[in-house]
Structure 1
């Protein structure tokens, strides 16, 4: 099982609880990606947001900087908000990243959980699904063809247009990032694309019917079971003890999600809700290395087998030093337990 980290390049605090500068935040993020490479993690993903608290509005820039400082780790988006970008430019950016990294680039594409990109780029929210569907189709066509003929609703037609550069990998890996919309699972299955499922609350095993929809749609479309990979993106954090992990992660989590909740009409975060997510069935991968490893294995079994899991650890209350230690623990203690198990 591939195990990695996803980051939204959040502006963090230092070990005194003070907010650091954007320059320092980016420098420390690159150090964490280097650390993940050093301890043997399989991938590092950078999200895409257009908000003050996140520095990931141009994720390929961060990934390219990381490519020059790492040797083996895969570098991916988490996710590319495809609805808000020209698929030609998205492909060119990641093809270039693939060349810089010597074949380590991937994309996870989705519609995004925030809608900030729509007004920023002059897009209509009423076109939310139609935009993504059309742009995904074009992106996949570009991946398969150096010379493209295409027409659609939301961009100029392409007539015998050559698109460069081409990536080092013969077929640039493209995953579909999904939340809880059944149609999204079915679409990914029909296309035969690997699926990255974001589970940031509730009980992870309840996503099994949606993943079954994906696999059934893929098999009916003629894709092999091996092609229909499933990954899991979860909030998580690892420390030497479970008590330490919970107490270090909760304050920043509560602050971040309470602030987001003000925009979306959610109630403030309660400690009881957070604690329910750290139980055996809860979605959060928070605890000591052994407990987190066993929870990953239980999630995999409950979902019918997963091939990838990523930890989303960013929150305003976490220091760089604590995140570096968590990455070390995930790479040196969580991953070996998971990958020495026969249960996936």
Structure 2
């Protein structure tokens, strides 16, 4: 995607190399996890997500590596499992898998998934993925894939199992379904008050408790837009053109300026501002969400590598040490 400040467009080759460089810098900065999304549309280059993650694994040694997310709806769960179990072995146990729906029709059409089966396809495939994670020999039957008859599922990850999360967007029903199966949840947020997303997290924990799981031990990740600069005004001015351009090209509509301007409110989930404001906001979010992890989406809408590098530096030197100190139990 082009940089809206100067209309520069990177080649696909350069973009992939930047993914690897960003992961290495994140590791050097002491960041705990690096994640890479998957998309099958114009202006994106991470279609072959597991291939790029493999290169990242080989160029890092400590940082956890995760998908964000893998589009379970359009992939065969057995092949997806095989790819990530292999990545886990290559990384010596550093791989996590976040399973999500295909949020855009283009991916469904590309892989021949009927939109009318959208919900059922995801539910069936995600359940099978979890079964593959539990059992080495699997017998299974479903509607959208050939049956498995005592199939030997190989390879097995280093610990025997992968950490599998379920990606949840807006619908509370997805959070409730995650809780009902005791599945760790990754809750993505775009804009709005913390109180709105707390309701979703509360429903997730209630569902888990009602279905016999200890909601206090189920991990939760939240994540969304993140950008920092010397001043909040500078951060807003630099980042909004990327948000606006990214939304127009991927969703066909602009991101409302009024909604983005709410980032200055400590109660907003849009984490854009100077380091001090972001520390306060993330501490506030932790107090309300009780999440174990926050995933910062630094790279959206053509943010240039030099700005990403600067953000990683600030996170590592100013934001992360203070956050760990103030959220330590």
| Same fold per superposition (TM over 0.5) | yes
Structure 2 residue 217 is the aligned partner of structure 1 residue 227: yes
1:69 corresponds to 2:69? no
Asked whether 1:40 is paired with 2:26, we answer no
State the match for 1:183 in structure 2: 173
The equivalent residue for 1:302 is: 288
Asked whether the 8 Å contact 2:166–2:178 carries over to 1, the reply is yes
User: Could you tell me which residue of structure 1 aligns to residue 310 of structure 2?
Assistant: 325
SS in 1 for 2:267: coil
- In the alignment, the residues of structure 1 paired with residue 179 and residue 67 of structure 2 have an alpha-carbon distance, to the nearest angstrom, of 20
TM-score where L is the length of structure 1: 0.91
Q: Distance in 2 between matches of 1:167 and 1:114?
A: 31
Name 1:205's counterpart in structure 2.
195
Q: Is the Cα–Cα contact under 8 Å of residues 5 and 241 in structure 2 kept in the other structure? A: no
Question: In structure 2, do the counterparts of structure 1 residues 86 and 278 end up closer, same or farther at CA, with 3 Å as the change threshold?
Answer: farther
Q: Does 1:258 align with 2:244?
A: no
Counterpart secondary structure, 1:175: strand
Residues 32 and 64 in structure 2, CA contact (< 8 A), matched pair in contact too? yes
Question: After TM superposition, which residue ranges in structure 1, 4 or more long, deviate above 4 angstroms?
Answer: 14-17
1:233–1:311 CA contact under 8 A, matched in 2: yes
1:79 deviates by 0.7
| Contact 1:94-1:105 at 8 Å conserved across structures | yes
Q: Deviations over 1:155-201 (max 9, x none)?
A: 00000110111111232000110012122111111111111101012
Whether 1:196 and 2:181 are equivalent positions in the alignment is: no
1:197 touches 1:232 (CA, 8 Å); kept in 2? Answer: yes
Maintained 8 Å contact 2:41/2:107: no
Q: How far did residue 261 of structure 1 move?
A: 4.2
Q: Does the CA-based 8 Å contact 1:72-1:104 persist in structure 2?
A: yes
Query: Contact 2:175–2:200 (CA<8 Å) still a contact in 1?
Result: yes
- The alpha carbon displacement at 1:14 in A equals 10
- Contact persistence 1:15–1:319 (CA under 8 A): no
Structure 1 residues 343 and 168, CA gap change in structure 2 (3 angstroms): closer
Conserved 8 A contact 1:235-1:312: yes
Q: Distance in 2 between matches of 1:269 and 1:225?
A: 34
Paired residues, what number? 329
2:96 alignment partner, one of 92, 99, 106: 106
Deviation at 1:45, TM superposition (A): 0.9
Matched, 1:154 2:154: no
Structure 1, unpaired ranges of 5+: 1-10
Q: C-alpha separation between the residues in 2 aligned to 1:224 and 1:158?
A: 31
Per the TM alignment, residue 18 of structure 1 is displaced from its structure 2 partner at its CA by: 1.4
Which of the pair has the greater relative contact order for Cα pairs under 8 Å at 6+ separation? 1
Partner Cα distance (2:5, 2:26) in 1: 20
Distance 1:15 1:200, change over 3 A: closer
Aligned Cα root-mean-square deviation (Å): 1.7
Q: What's the offset of the Cα at 1:315?
A: 2.8
1:283 deviates by 1.9
Contact 1:12-1:320 at 8 Å conserved across structures:
no
SS in 2 for 1:149: strand
Deviations 1:248-300 (A, max 9, x none): 111111112233442xxx4x344333212342222211112221111011112
